[in-house]
Amino acid sequence: MLELRSVSRRFGSRPDLAARIAIALGAAKPPPVVHALDKVSLSIEKGEVLGLVGESGCGKSTLGRIAAGILPPSDGQVLWKGEDRSGLHGKRLRDADLQAQMIFQNPMAALNPRMTVEGLVSEAPKIHGMMAGDKGTYVDDYLRKAGFDPAMKRRLPHQFSGGQRARVNIARALAVQPDFLVCDESVAALDVSIQAQILNLFMDLRAQLDLTYLFVSHDLGVVEHISDRVAIMYLGRIVEEAPVAEVFARPNHPYTQQLLAEVPRIRPGKRRFAAMKGELPSPLAPPPGCHFHPRCPFAHDRCRHEVPERREIAPGHSSACHLNDQQAA
Ligand code: SF4
């Protein structure tokens, strides 16, 4: 469905002509650049759910936006159904844009407060000529699929709870008949009981509509319930990727191990791994070598200057840590 090949994304302001001359003459410093993604390679198969996990600010939302086609990469290639996305034009680009939809974290901010639910759900399909029959029936159908009562479709977003607004967002995304959904922290703002309902809804929709998901979350516990595979991200790099059961049974990367130590558990007892220490460093000046070395209990000299390669350590399980080279040697 989707493949990212060595995708990087940087954000920074472009200096004007005078500033560029001053920088060239050494009289001014170049503007700071945020390194949001650094050579990320990842693929998502049709029908699968890939969970993307990391702390806030690690670049996972940027990756989600690139996967949904909202943001272009600075470098690297995005292949959508086998074709380079940057080479798509006209109808093929429009189709790719409609087939990949994003569901955002804050359902209220993502909905126009002046439009009724009916207007919100029907807007995009109307523009793209997708509503051949009765508009009301089309909207009702997608609201029902998202578990929202169509009898309330003439109301405004502020008249609903967070859970109902999340359902409107889902109905709006489904109404353009996508086959790939990027869910960016889509349940993070909801109460735990509502989170469970929305996660179950995502799973039902996957089966009904043959959907593929990229599920972005800071919470490994949430991702565990919905994903087939998990990719762990740290400061713009994927540090580990494996089937979900493998990540929980045999986490390899020290960062994954520390994330797991923070997943709440019902049974008390000694934890397998130590909890996370320190803060995520600034993506304006990521640490050299392995980005994780300032927080890693196993960091050694090599980690401070050499970037670890991500390589397969078991079938379908890859990790980027120098400790794997020592064990293999
Ligand atoms: Fe820790 Fe070094 Fe492995 Fe990075 S490469 S996770 S610093 S041991």
Q: What is the mean pLDDT of the chain?
A: 88
Residue 293 CB less than 6 A away from ligand 1: yes
The Cα–Cα gap between 42 and 246 comes to 18
Half-sphere exposure of 246 toward its Cβ, with a 13 Å CA cutoff? Answer: 18
Q: How far is the CA of 322 from the centre of ligand 1 (A)?
A: 6
Q: Which of 222, 239, 241 is nearest to 231 (CA)?
A: 241
Please write the tens of the pLDDT for every residue from 18-52.
888 888 888 777 778 888 999 999 999 999 999 99
pLDDT surpassing 70 at residue 304: yes
Provide the pLDDT for residue 271. 57
Provide the pLDDT for residue 265. 61
Ligand 1 atom nearest residue 304's Cα: 7
Q: What single-letter amino acid sits at 157?
A: P
The Cα–Cα gap between 108 and 115 comes to 12
Q: How far is the CA of 323 from the centre of ligand 1 (A)?
A: 7
Let me know: does 271 contact 261? Beta carbons within 8 Å: yes
pLDDT surpassing 90 at residue 270: no
Please write the tens of the pLDDT for every residue from 53-65.
998 888 999 999 9
| Mean pLDDT across 121-130 | 89
Q: Which of 107, 138, 98, 105 is nearest to 121 (CA)?
A: 138
CATH superfamily for domain 2-14+31-255: P-loop containing nucleotide triphosphate hydrolases (3.40.50.300)
Give the start-to-end residue ranges of the domains of the chain.
Answer: 2-14+31-255
Q: How far is the CA of 301 from the centre of ligand 1 (A)?
A: 10
Q: Residue 290 in 3-state DSSP?
A: coil
Provide the pLDDT for residue 31. 77
| Mean pLDDT across 266-292 | 74
